[in-house]
Amino acid sequence: MSFDPSNPLIVQADRSVFLEVFNPRADAARIDIAPFAELLSSPEHLHTYRITPLSLWNAASVGLTAVQMIDALTRHAKFPLPGNVAADIRELAGRWGRLRLEDHDSGLLLIVTEGDEVLLKELMRHQAIATLLGDMMSEVVVTVPAAHRGLLKQALLEAGWPVDDQAGYIDGDAFAVPLSGALHVRDYQQAAAEAFYQAGSERGGSGVVVLAPGAGKTVVGMVAMSLLGQRTLILTTNRTSVNQWHRELLSKTQLLPNDVREYVPGKPLAPVTLCTYQMLTHRRRGHASHNESAYPHMALIGAAEWGLIIYDEVHLLPAPVFRLTAEVQARRRLGLTATLIREDGREGDVFALIGPKRYDPPWKTLEAQGWIAQANCVEVRLRLPPEERMAYAVAPDRIKHRLAAENPAKRAVIQRVMARHVRQPTLIIGQYLDQLELIGADLDVPVINGKMPQRQREQLFQAFREGHVDVLILSRVGNFALDLSEAGVLIQVSGAFGSRQEEAQRLGRLLRPKTDGRAAHFYTLVTRETTEENFAHHRQLFLAEQGYAYSILDEHEV
């Protein structure tokens, strides 16, 4: 290919990719490369992507070929594609499928493709892998104890060799989950559930469905439950999410109240049991974290009756649940999330232990089809008042972010933003309770935080849904699994440093379609010339990858 100045991509030999955002062809290029490239930075005019082994394996696991990936880069690139990049994509994406796990008697077999005998010998000499393998049955087959299934998948991924797990699953107790006749399952929700289930074959039954907030991930979970027809454990983030799943299951399936219950220690398990990650990882006082007896409720996840375990908000899965999930690889596992980004870098563990990405439609595609609301993102930049600026200048690095985040000038800007959207249901969300309490006093609005009793929280959420309350102030409890569909404005006053997942989840509070079709407005208040400005750029990466652009306003322009 010769030089084409009209194309928007510049592909570098180190597998970084630059996208000219202002180019008329930028959106088409972004959509084509997003399945196999990870966005690293997103300044106004030039976005930087990186092609990584994990991004290629996730793409390959849903059927995207190396030829298709190379073609996408070639079609959109200004300059000829570096030869080593094409070779790396063929090499790395081609690793998917060369190793597979299959069921065998009471154990498993690790099988390499014909011609890969040397690869198997190499892996058998790898220190972290060798202890997990059994006897060699042929030049291309080695036995694996069933108990090592999850640990082996993790170790192989660490070594750069993803394994296609086709070892199948143990059935749980049968339990039909008929969907309500009034439920309209959208085409993409049905497609997502079927991509996970794969007609009940050993190729299905594990993996992650990625859908924009407000696009109906709970419906995908219910369709998967209906397809499988077995007892199900649903793990989620908090009590609010448990209550939401409970409401959705009773309204959108034909299950009865006794069929769906929250986990209560010492009481019988329901056919569909709901539990929080916090409950599951509760540790006995005085017990070390590495001691399995320290977690009295962990046995729940391994209970024999489950045919399916659903991990809601799988990007937030705590480390102890990873350890336990490695031991329950014979159970079908469905992860649901709006983003596979983990700030602890453990995306590889999600891939190995929950399963590869099975379905991930672009957010902007769902927006164009009317399934999620259009959203306008605005970053409002403010200055610190002079006396606060001096305090910031001399503060230790560890508290600079909080001083910038709690900029008192934000309180006046909040009221000016709200004046732009009179009578629109509005959420105000932040990180620091002292700041939120001051805003609550300004507006005479209660602050919903983790200390507020669950019953009181639910009453306020319901009053907001019914239009009796126009404004809610939320701490981090508002980051996820919260159905406030009519919210049209969200003002973010502070956040958890540079968390991309938090930014995506907070925008997600606005994305459920509005009954009148209006757009949503997402405001972030950022203090100029501070660490908060740097963190804001990093927070916006994932949303920029999905096609969202932030307009920038000075505080005086609001």
Alpha carbons 504 and 338: distance in angstroms, whole number: 8
Q: Give residue 23's identity as a one-letter amino acid code.
A: N
Alpha carbons 221 and 255: distance in angstroms, whole number: 14
Between these two residues, 304 and 65, which has the higher pLDDT value?
A: 65
Cα end-to-end distance, the chain, whole Å: 48
3-state secondary structure of 274: strand
Cite the DSSP H helix spans in 140-296.
149-158, 187-197, 217-228, 239-252, 277-280
The reported pLDDT for the residue numbered 489 is 97
Q: What is the mean pLDDT of residues 382-397?
A: 93
| Measured CA distances, 295 to 62, 232, 238, 266, 530 (Å) | 36, 21, 18, 15, 42
**Residue 324 pLDDT exceeds 70:** yes
The DSSP call for residue 281 is T
Spatial CA neighbour of 16 closest among 35, 40, 32, 34 = 40
Percent with pLDDT over 70 in the chain = 97
Q: What is the mean pLDDT of residues 123-128?
A: 94
Average pLDDT of the chain, as a whole number: 91
Residue 362 buriedness (CB in 10 A; 0-12 / 13-18 / 19+): middle
| DSSP labels, 86-142 | HHHHHHHHTTTTSEEEEEETTEEEEEE-TT-HHHHHHHHT-HHHHTT---EEETTEE
Q: What is the mean pLDDT of residues 544-548?
A: 82
The reported pLDDT for the residue numbered 40 is 79
- Residue 304's pLDDT band (cuts 50, 70, 90): confident
Between 100-104, 136-140, 276-280, 309-313, the lowest mean confidence (pLDDT) is in 276-280
Q: What is the mean pLDDT of residues 129-144?
A: 95
Residue 44 buriedness (CB in 10 A; 0-12 / 13-18 / 19+): exposed
- Residue 322's pLDDT band (cuts 50, 70, 90): confident
Alpha carbons 357 and 206: distance in angstroms, whole number: 9
The reported pLDDT for the residue numbered 20 is 94
Residue 325 · residue 354 · CB < 8 Å = yes
Alpha carbons 208 and 325: distance in angstroms, whole number: 14
Residue 157 · residue 129 · CB < 8 Å = no
Q: What is the mean pLDDT of residues 156-172?
A: 94
Token look-up 């994990």 returns 54
| DSSP labels, 44-87 | SSEEEEE--HHHHHHHHHTT--HHHHHHHHHHHBSSPPPHHHHH
Q: What is the mean pLDDT of residues 390-410?
A: 94
